[in-house]
Amino acid sequence: MIDSHCHLDDDAFALDLPAALARARAAGVEGCVCAGVDPDGWRAQSALALTYPGLWVMYGLHPRWVAVRDPAALDLDLDALAAACEGRGAFRGCAPPIALGEVGLDRSRHVPDDSIDQHVAAFSAQLAIARARSLPVVLHVVRAHGLALDWLRCVGLSQEGGVLHSYSGSAEMVPDFAALGLMFSFSGAVTAPAARKLHRAAATVPDDRLMIETDSPDLTPTSRLPLRNEPAFLADVCAEVARLRGQPFADVAALTARNTRAVFHL
């Protein structure tokens, strides 16, 4: 298995990251992809990737970060993102990213209601950075799937495609997003008994579009609550996705790892 999306630079792992990575390996996780949120985080992620084998990084401006930045600061952040993707300036010597992300649109209670226009502007700018550098894009989309679909059809993805991380859209929208070249990654949220919309979506995604993740330290699988989430718990996500699809655990573990390697060119 490969954890296609996590945040190992988070303070939650400050005291036990080596032990968490050892537990992940023991659980059958062969690698982890660390998602970007902000410029300081990119540097922390890079340091981890240069220290621990089997860790890869992506750099991006998370929509919840974007929502609280003033326009001038956001312009500087976008310039920094281009520099980080190219390993120049203050980011010289940083680990090269395998993707651009996480980026996207968020209409949840965690962001101001009036920030969506800024989300859209930053989303468009980051898609342009990804297209110019032929990087796949990892998308954070919460309560904005229709808007995201319309916007992606309008401005276009990188030729490398991308991933809808911790997919929370409907099964009915799967063919529309797949037609754009997107993969679908499921997190611990799919293990919630009441998450029937997610259950239907996880059963619908074609084998060659399916991925899994933890999004740790968030989205702990239901059976592990109230523990902090970590990559070792990817096995719980894999088991639930396999159950929903009526497929053996080993088959889902193998095909999701294969898909992750393919989209990120690992």
- Cβ atoms of 148 and 139 closer than 8 Å: yes
Segments of the chain scoring below 50 in pLDDT: none
Q: Starting at the earlier edge strand, list the strands of the sheet with 137-142.
A: 2-6, 31-34, 55-59, 99-106, 137-142, 162-164, 182-186, 210-212
Q: What pLDDT does 236 receive?
A: 98
pLDDT at 251: 98
Class of domain 2-264: alpha beta
Strand-pair category, 137-142 with 99-106:
parallel
Distance of CA 4 to the CA centre of its chain: 7
> Which tens digits make up the pLDDT trace of 191-201?
999 999 999 99
Domain ranges for the chain: 2-264
Tell me what pLDDT residue 115 has.
65
CB contact at 8 A, 101 and 139: yes
pLDDT at 158: 82
CA-to-CA dists, residue 246 to 3, 100, 128, 238, angstroms: 21, 33, 39, 12
What global pTM score does this model have?
0.94
Kindly report, residue by residue over 138-165, the tens digit of the pLDDT: 999 988 889 899 989 988 888 899 999 9
